Amino acid sequence: MAKRLAIYLFRNDLRVHDNYCLQWSHLNCDLILPLYCFDPRHFQETWHFGFPKTGPQRTKFLLESVCDLRSNLLARNSNLLIKKETPENAIQDLFKMLKNDHKLFLVFQEEVTREEIDVERALKKICKAENVEVHTIWNATLYNKEDIPFKVSHVPDTYTGFRKSVESQCEVRSTVKMPDTLKPFPNVNIDLGHIPSSKDLGISDFLPHPKSAFPWKGGETSALKRVNYFLWESDKVAKYKETRNGLIGDDYSTKFSAWLSVGCLSPRFVYSEVKKYEQKRVSNQSTYWVIFELIWRDYFRYVALKYGDKMFYPSGIMGKHIEWKQDMKKFDLWKDGKTGVPFVDANMRELALTGWMSNRGRQNVASFLVKDLGIDWRLGAEWFESQLIDHDVCSNYGNWNYAAGIGNDPRENRKFNMIKQGLDYDPEGEFVRLWVPELAPVKNGKVHTPWTLTGNDFVDIDYPKPMVIAPEWSRQLGRVNPSGFYKNQQKKGMGNQRGLDFYFSNKNQPKK
């Protein structure tokens, strides 16, 4: 009798722990052939504006993640077949090689956006022609699609509605324990392939920046170490809500997002660890906030599932028609961190040099691009797609829909004041001077408004005048060197609330 062989196509689920696809393959088949394809389409250009679809920073992280996955599979009596071609071609070749001697199954994680769904449809068509069973598994979210208390078409149009519903009516499924020894890799004569270099994929090498706020490697091993450190070794999680709007350093936020984006880290595992931490050490708003942000991640995925391609349209998921400009000269100034607005420029330069930007920074630079400059939000979204180490298509495009005012947003006409934000979150200008060194001579909070320097404060610097000055900025010009304003707010338990402004009206701010 032919042995049952599962070809498990890894996608954005590059891990062994808590992996439903791997678990199904192990429990239902005699042999497992894990497969990863470096799909050439992922290393071409973005859809509209031709940026590198996967930039050097993210490519390096992906390569590290796949390398670590192979090592972890080898440690469990398995291996990873690596192909540098489309999954469609790789699967067809494997079927031809294996179908005469095995009962074949194809297993992969379900995705929710167009490009990934097109691949799934093509694979299912191939399987149908070859009489191969397909098992697609929902594996990427905290709350399973089968468990949420509404049909996908009825996913609430506000995050608060979604969160309250799933928290009150759903259970997060338990993590699955994976065996120490997996069902064996098939004994076939096959070239297992090698991990390509960035240059093999047509991408330039990326050298880590010594000042990066994200200094870690890709891969499940690194991800699990980070979770252990942030919770159990350092207790940073117990103060997370107070620090999460930081800008400098390794530990102001969890930094889990990069590993979550390619599936090196299971959101259910993070949830289970936080719950254990709350039982054994402390349960507070900070520990809850990690879970709160995992639910945000879920929400964007379910919104993408509900609205489909609308998330990528100029009018967004709400179909709001706004006259966007595609002024590439202005966009390039934004992209290159040369707008003349220090808080914007510092964040954009950090992104270009490291592949990372804080959540606070992302909100501000997005608001500046679409609200202050009126530039097509899709330019910003595609640039983030290209540059961010932690790019997740649903979260990225969902957040840009919000920033552009075309998402399901409870706050109409939300716009950030760049000077206020800079003074609130970088009151002494340390972050700006870190990434905009030409402003180093400008002391304290005055670095946020260098064009206003006169008299004894004047410094001759090689830095551009702001490309735009919003009228509301004038209200902040008296707040230079505000004597630790934001820090004082934090001590009073107030500073952490400011971070909610992007997504909530005051009445919808969550409590615990």
Q: List the pLDDT tens digit at each of the 512 positions of the chain.
A: 899 999 999 999 999 999 999 999 999 999 999 999 999 999 999 999 999 999 999 999 999 999 999 999 999 999 999 999 999 999 999 999 999 999 999 999 999 999 999 999 999 999 999 999 999 999 999 999 999 999 999 999 999 999 999 999 999 999 999 999 999 999 999 999 999 999 999 999 999 999 999 999 999 999 999 999 999 999 999 999 999 999 999 999 999 999 999 999 999 999 999 999 999 999 999 999 999 999 999 999 999 999 999 999 999 999 999 999 999 999 999 999 999 999 999 999 999 999 999 999 999 999 999 999 999 999 999 999 999 999 999 999 999 999 999 997 656 678 999 999 999 999 999 999 999 999 999 999 999 999 999 988 888 999 999 999 999 999 998 886 544 443 434 333 333 334 444 444 444 556 55
Q: Quick check: helix, strand or coil at residue 416?
A: coil
Q: Evaluate whether 142 touches 268 at the Cβ level (below 8 Å).
A: yes
Q: Evaluate whether 66 touches 14 at the Cβ level (below 8 Å).
A: yes
DSSP H helical segments within 50-206, as ranges? 56-74, 87-98, 114-130, 159-169
How far is 111 from 504, CA to CA, in rounded Å? 28
Per-residue model confidence (pLDDT) at position 478? 81
Per-residue model confidence (pLDDT) at position 477? 86
How far is 482 from 474, CA to CA, in rounded Å? 15
* DSSP letter for each residue of 210-221: TT-S--PPPSHH
Per-residue model confidence (pLDDT) at position 501? 43
- β-pair partners for 37: 83
CA 214 to chain centre: 13
Per-residue model confidence (pLDDT) at position 458? 86
Per-residue model confidence (pLDDT) at position 457? 84
Per-residue model confidence (pLDDT) at position 180? 97
Q: What are phi and psi of 187, to 5 degrees?
A: -85, 80
Nearest to 32 by CA among 179, 194, 219: 179
Q: Spell out the residues 6+ positions from residue 228 whose beta carbon is closer than 8 angstroms to its own.
A: none
Q: Evaluate whether 116 touches 136 at the Cβ level (below 8 Å).
A: no
Buried b (16+ CB within 10 A) or exposed e, 177-209: ebeeebbebbeeeeeebeebebeebebeebeeb
Q: Spell out the residues 6+ positions from residue 77 whose beta carbon is closer than 8 angstroms to its own.
A: 181, 182, 184, 185
Task: Report the number of secondary-structure helices (H) and strands (E) in the chain.
Answer: 18, 5
Per-residue model confidence (pLDDT) at position 413? 74
